Homo-oligomer: A and B are copies of this chain.
């Protein structure tokens, strides 16, 4: 877990500001939930591996000695959302569209762009089965990335029911679907041979794994594979045709293909047009997805900048009644890692700590410096007061090292004449202005 010193916080605030602005333009509203949930709310929602990564909090009071845990740190923002929707059903609108930008915690081994405490930027729409929801989520994620300066990303799109159809058609038995998806999800990391070995290890018959990998290879060669995220020459219609032929008359598979076709058509009306490529090899790890799944890829990061999908049954685990839901989560840390490595932050994202530093002439005039600082702040400036009566040269050097662009000097002469001297730390130029004009002069120097 990391500390964020001021420059790092400013970079994070810049990204969060863009994400917030885009999400609000899509009519999403802010939600915040506590860092701590009841342990039982989280257990059983993330699969066995997920359960192991939950940070548990000791029950207070006499139970502490027994090591009993009743609370846990938030593991993602989706399960708390499902709890909130079940808990506040009557207070929320029929179509609840919320964004949430908060940290989550996983007892994972840290890696590049992966930390034990990290922020998720989630956006979810509940209450509708319309594919307009998927299209808008792709558009919102795309807008965020474009606004941040990304141009070489693509949004991979697939569908859990289509995957079911593909696995059934390949001859993978239903009870092996989950494990086969975990293996298939690693195709771009471990290659076809690696996936073949994993499938064999998990007891999937050779005929089934051959069929599956042959299909994946065909999909990849159609230009819709994982080959290169920056390669925009993909043909969703062709991929959908290949999927149709492979899945045949598998009912759930056909319905999924129809939904993908629908999303693809709607996306064409949004700003995500040309960004969404249907990719039949995308699987996504989490078990709660029921429909479309999405993931954002850039060429220079293994793993994704974010992803999401439809999960129509999760709220039902809390409410006892299903509420359709679909969401997208952007990983703040990974976005910042890539933006930092590529030098994508604009100069304004790391501002100087203050617009001006007020120096102190001598110990007796400290109050006079505080009064000047007050005037400049009332004029809208960010003002740091040097707190001690050090030699002026030392104060100047401090301002310069801090990157503060201007300092003021209130010497005995200036004070006698109602003036204040303004020194430009870049040029070294110094000039005296009427004290009442100082704020205005500093704002438009």
Contact = CB atoms under 8 A, between A and B. Distances in A.
Interface in A65-119: 65-69, 71, 73, 80, 84, 87-88, 91-95, 97-98, 103, 105, 107, 116-117
A263 B393 CA distance: 26
> How many identical subunits does the complex contain?
2
B67 A370 contact: no
A270 B374 contact: yes
A442 interface: no
A229 interface: no
A305 B354 CA distance: 27
Contacts of A128: 387-388
Contacts of A65: 67
Nearest to A84: B3
Interface string A320-338: 0000000000000000000
A53 to B, nearest CB: 8
Contacts of A135: 370
A297 interface: no
Using C-beta atoms within 8 Å of the partner chain, give the interface range for chain A.
35 or more
A444 interface: no
A210 interface: no
A426 interface: no
Contacts of A98: 6
Given A30-B13, A387-B133, A370 B269 contact: yes
Given A9-B31, A31-B6, A36-B1, A136 B385 contact: yes
B266 A370 contact: yes
Contacts of A91: 5
B67 A2 contact: no
A56 B58 contact: yes
Given A132-B370, A387-B125, A67 B58 contact: yes
A91 B7 CA distance: 11
A117 B27 contact: no
Contacts of A386: 95
A151 interface: no
A3 B91 CA distance: 13
A251 interface: no
Given A57-B57, A130-B366, A371-B270, A382 B6 contact: no
Interface in A346-385: 353-354, 357, 360, 366-371, 373-374, 377-378, 380-385
A445 B270 CA distance: 25
A139 to B, nearest CB: 7
A269 B364 CA distance: 13
A174 interface: no
A310 to B, nearest CB: 13
A26 interface: yes
A354 to B, nearest CB: 4
A268 interface: yes
A2 B34 contact: yes
A1 B93 CA distance: 23
A97 B384 contact: yes
Closest 6 CB pairs of A and B: A67-B67, A27-B384, A1-B34, A6-B29, A269-B367, A9-B30
5 contacts: A27-B353, A55-B58, A57-B73, A93-B398, A97-B384
Given A9-B30, A25-B377, A93-B398, 15 more contacts: A1-B35, A4-B31, A4-B33, A25-B381, A26-B384, A27-B353, A35-B35, A35-B117, A57-B73, A95-B398, A97-B353, A132-B369, A139-B370, A269-B374, A271-B374
